[in-house]
Chain A
Amino acid sequence: MFSFSSFYEKARNKEIVAGLSLISIAVILNLVFGYFAMGFAFYLSFFKWDYIGTMQFVGLKNFEIVLRDLMRGLNGASYLLSPFYTGLKNILIYTAIVVPVQTFLAIVLASFANQKIKGQQFFKVSYFLPATTSSVIVALIFIWLFMKNGFINFALSHVIPGFQPIDWINDRNYLLLAIATVAIWGTSGHFMVSFLAAMQAIPKEIYEAAMLDGAGPIRRFFFITIPMLRPMIVYVVVMGLIGALQMFDLAWVMAGANGGPGGAGYTVALDIYNEAFTRINPGVAAAKSWFLFAIIFTTTYIFQKKYGRAMR
């Protein structure tokens, strides 16, 4: 009895020591390069600064400015007067479109690419290719494709009867959709790789058993593949949320620093950039970042909790 519990104790300690040492390097590096910056950003949000002079303590004033912007926006002010609200609204819509579609598409592409069919390599590489080009080049190419007599309108007019060509980039109703399309095009292939990797860990036997039971491909997909992929789905959705809510480069290239017509392409990240460098208000920018942080943290936390730790 005694020897067994002391053995157990030792094993528990061993695990703790092992755990801590394995994560040590990762944590330390991130501590230096990440937390110092985060702490500084927190500190900065209580000050007014212009980079060159000294910082002036202003307490919660920066947060008040952000709240006022949000209030104005909720009351229907134009986008020129409530940029943060506009950016927030746009990025939430954008995220709601992009994350589910890119996740679903990534799973579908991965399962197709996982089949043993002719040309499997070709398809895998084609889907992954967009992810290998830098987002700036991708955005530039798509601006050209989205023009009024561009390829996208051309293709759509052949597929949808009675379709009127849209000037995507200059139309405040469609700009966000255009940007979302480019994002999905680029990232679904990227995440396909994760799902492909995860699919390798699913034992073949389960599929074989299901097939013997008479389950067709669609049923196998929904009742085996997706549940087994849960941890990876969490990864893709959480990373997708984090990335989409902070989207900057696509909007910068496709909509410009002011977010395009009617601010349709204005995002929170653009606003934070403008606040920090165009209006030279890094304190307010820091405060806005904390708002964004709260939103990202809450959404990812809720998702992980609800869909979460499915360990087999």
Chain B
Amino acid sequence: MTPKEKELLIRRIWVVITYVVLLTFALVYLMPFIRSLIASFMTWAQASRYPPEWMPSPFTLENYQKLFRLELFPRWIRNTTLYAGLIVAGNIMFTSMAGYAFARLKFPGRDVLFSALLSLLMIPMFVTLVPNYIIIYKLGLIDNIFGLALLGLTNVSSIFLMRQYFMSLSTEIFEAARLDGCGPIKSFFYIALPLARPALGAVAVYQFLGSWNAFIGPLIFLRSPENFTLPVGLSFAFQRSMWTEYTPIIAGSLVASAPTIILFLVLNKYLIRGIVVTGGKG
């Protein structure tokens, strides 16, 4: 074989290996999902059968019908959208500011404050349940989507993510801006933010995911069925004290994951098209 043919062969083998690995992983990751998709069109009598069956017979739309027949279902979608929208907007705005400041600016107590914020994530929520109840009730925010959103508006993990991202950008651009007389706030808006698009995309995806699927927060702080978000609503509609109607919940969670997937696809192109830093040039 000529060296060029050899090189081509190696590259081909490499491509084949890549595809095999990717496909295997994809299958492993997708399998439970595929299983729920199929199950959502089956009756529980069939879905719970063992060994498991893969063709719904009868093919039934009943689970989705049960879902849409719920009077409160559209309300829950509206509530969840509002909640997710607030959380995403709030996080993008406030945590990018905070992340930038913690990463690029020097001010007294910066590192201590950041450590302190990070430690907020390290306490399990059962212990903080009672004090949070106290605050929420005293502020009159119980059973209120806005109150719930306020809790998560400046998520520490987003601050952390933005900070790490800003830290990974090259310093030269910021130095150049500073020498040009650009103040810190200006450089935030004109330089840091535009460069941060991929990270903002990641924050948006994470916060959307987190709030859309959030269960514990809404469970504790929302009380009227009209105010529930989707996950709690599904639990309310289909979980009894002694048993659960699983197939409508499976159908419901598939419907619930659809927006996240769409968002991911949209933001995806955004993540790739993000401006790549060309160190040193302009």
Contact = CB atoms under 8 A, between A and B. Distances in A.
Q: Direct contact between A and B in the complex (CB less than 8 angstroms)?
A: yes
Interface of A: 11, 14-16, 18-20, 22-23, 25-27, 29-30, 32-41, 44, 51, 109, 112, 115, 117, 119, 121-134, 136-138, 140-142, 144-145, 149, 151, 185, 189-190, 193-194, 196-198, 200-205, 217, 228-232, 234-235, 238-239, 242, 246, 248, 268-269, 272-273, 276-277, 282, 285-286, 289, 292-293, 296-297, 300-301, 309-312
A235 B122 contact: no
Given A133-B257, A151-B31, A16 B21 contact: no
Interface string B202-239: 10011001000101000000000000000100000000
B165 A232 contact: yes
B128 interface: yes
Given A22-B188, A134-B253, A231-B167, A35 B120 contact: yes
Given A193-B205, A201-B165, A276-B126, A23 B102 contact: yes
A197 B265 contact: no
B206 A276 contact: no
Contacts of B276: 200-204
Contact of B122 (A200, A232, A272, A293): A293
B151 A33 contact: yes
A144 to B, nearest CB: 8
A285 B167 CA distance: 37
Contact of A22 (B118, B134, B185, B260): B185
Interface in B3-52: 14-15, 18-19, 21-22, 25-26, 28-33, 35-36, 50-52
Interface of B: 14-15, 18-19, 21-22, 25-26, 28-33, 35-36, 50-52, 94-95, 97-98, 100-102, 105-108, 110, 113, 115, 117-124, 126-132, 134-135, 150-151, 153-154, 156-157, 159-161, 164-165, 167-171, 178, 183-185, 188, 195, 198-199, 201-202, 205-206, 209, 213, 215, 231, 246, 249-250, 253, 256-257, 260-261, 264-265, 268, 271-272, 274, 276-279
A272 B124 contact: yes
B271 A125 contact: no
A18 B185 contact: yes
Contact of B33 (A130, A228, A232, A268): A130
Which of A129, A189, A228, A293 is the most central at the interface, judged by chain B CB atoms within 10 Å of its CB? A129
Contacts of B121: 242
Contact of A129 (B129, B169, B261, B278): B261
A38 B14 CA distance: 52
A124 B110 CA distance: 36
B257 to A, nearest CB: 4
B271 A292 contact: no
A26 B202 contact: no
Q: Is the interface of A mostly helix, strand, loop or mixed?
A: helix
Contacts of A189: 29
24 contacts: A23-B101, A25-B154, A27-B117, A29-B153, A30-B154, A34-B156, A36-B135, A37-B135, A125-B268, A129-B261, A130-B32, A134-B256, A137-B36, A140-B246, A145-B32, A149-B50, A185-B28, A190-B206, A190-B209, A194-B202, A196-B198, A231-B164, A248-B124, A282-B127
B6 to A, nearest CB: 14
Given A34-B120, A201-B195, 9 more contacts: A19-B101, A121-B265, A129-B30, A132-B213, A133-B253, A137-B249, A198-B164, A205-B278, A300-B118
B22 A123 contact: yes
A219 to B, nearest CB: 14
Nearest to A130: B29
B165 A197 contact: yes
Contact of B113 (A27, A29, A293): A27
Contacts of B256: 134
B135 A32 contact: yes
A111 B139 CA distance: 47
Nearest to A122: B26
Contact of A193 (B19, B52, B156, B202): B202
A108 B244 CA distance: 38
B184 A200 contact: no
Contact of B164 (A121, A235, A301): A235
Given A25-B94, A141-B32, A132 B126 contact: no
Contacts of A269: 124
A50 to B, nearest CB: 12
Nearest to B215: A134
Which of A197, A301, A312 is the most central at the interface, judged by chain B CB atoms within 10 Å of its CB? A197
B128 A40 contact: yes
A16 B205 contact: no
Contacts of B272: 200
A234 B201 CA distance: 19
Contacts of B95: 26
Contact of B198 (A51, A134, A197, A285): A197
Contacts of B231: 134
Nearest to A202: B276
A138 to B, nearest CB: 7
A302 to B, nearest CB: 13
Which of A26, A144, A200, A300 is the most central at the interface, judged by chain B CB atoms within 10 Å of its CB? A26
